[in-house]
């Protein structure tokens, strides 16, 4: 008989929906990826409620270090496209001059 799902619900409908979906697929505890909108929602809630990183982490069941990282990267997060999950990912070109020439031709 399968064990009932035990998921910490936070009251944030979007976040709870993600956590429940992950629990149903048995991927809670694995590395999670959060959308730009969710990151900004968490940071906005923290600022509007005048809450600490610790209180915010507890409410949203997110690691404190991750929220601190988002707070440091807030300007970069704001500049990214909607629904982006990772910031600054991707290989850097090893030859920028060649990249410029290729970009101009294609």
CA 80, CA 36: separation in Å to the nearest integer?
8
Residue-by-residue DSSP string for 14-73: HHHHHHHHHHHTT-TTSPP---HHHHHHHHHHHHHTT--HHHHHHHHT--HHHHHHHHHT
The tokens describing 24, both together, are 């149903």
Domains of the chain (ranges plus CATH)?
13-85 (1.10.10)
> For the segment 37-61, what is each residue's pLDDT rounded down to a tens digit?
889 999 999 999 999 999 998 888 8
Top mean-pLDDT range of 81-85, 93-97, 99-103: 99-103
Q: Is the predicted pLDDT of residue 66 greater than 70, yes or no? A: yes
Of 8 and 34, the structure prediction assigns the larger pLDDT to 34
> For the segment 18-37, what is each residue's pLDDT rounded down to a tens digit?
766 766 665 555 566 788 88
Q: Is the predicted pLDDT of residue 2 greater than 50, yes or no? A: no
So what's the pLDDT on residue 88? Answer: 63
Instruction: Report CA-CA distances (Å) from 99 to 25, 88, 91, 92, 104.
Output: 41, 18, 12, 10, 9
The mean per-residue pLDDT over the stretch 2-25 comes to 62
């Amino acid at each position: 008989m399968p064990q009932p799902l035990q998921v910490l619900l936070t009251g944030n409908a979007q976040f709870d929906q993600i956590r429940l979906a992950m629990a149903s697929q048995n991927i809670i505890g694995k590395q999670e990826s959060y959308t730009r909108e969710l990151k900004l929602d968490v940071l906005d809630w923290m600022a509007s409620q005048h809450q600490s990183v610790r209180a915010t982490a507890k409410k949203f069941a997110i690691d404190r270090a991750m929220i601190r990282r988002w707070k440091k990267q807030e300007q970069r997060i704001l500049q990214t496209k909607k629904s982006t999950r990772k910031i600054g990912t991707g290989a850097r070109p090893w030859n920028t001059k060649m990249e410029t020439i290729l970009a101009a031709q294609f």
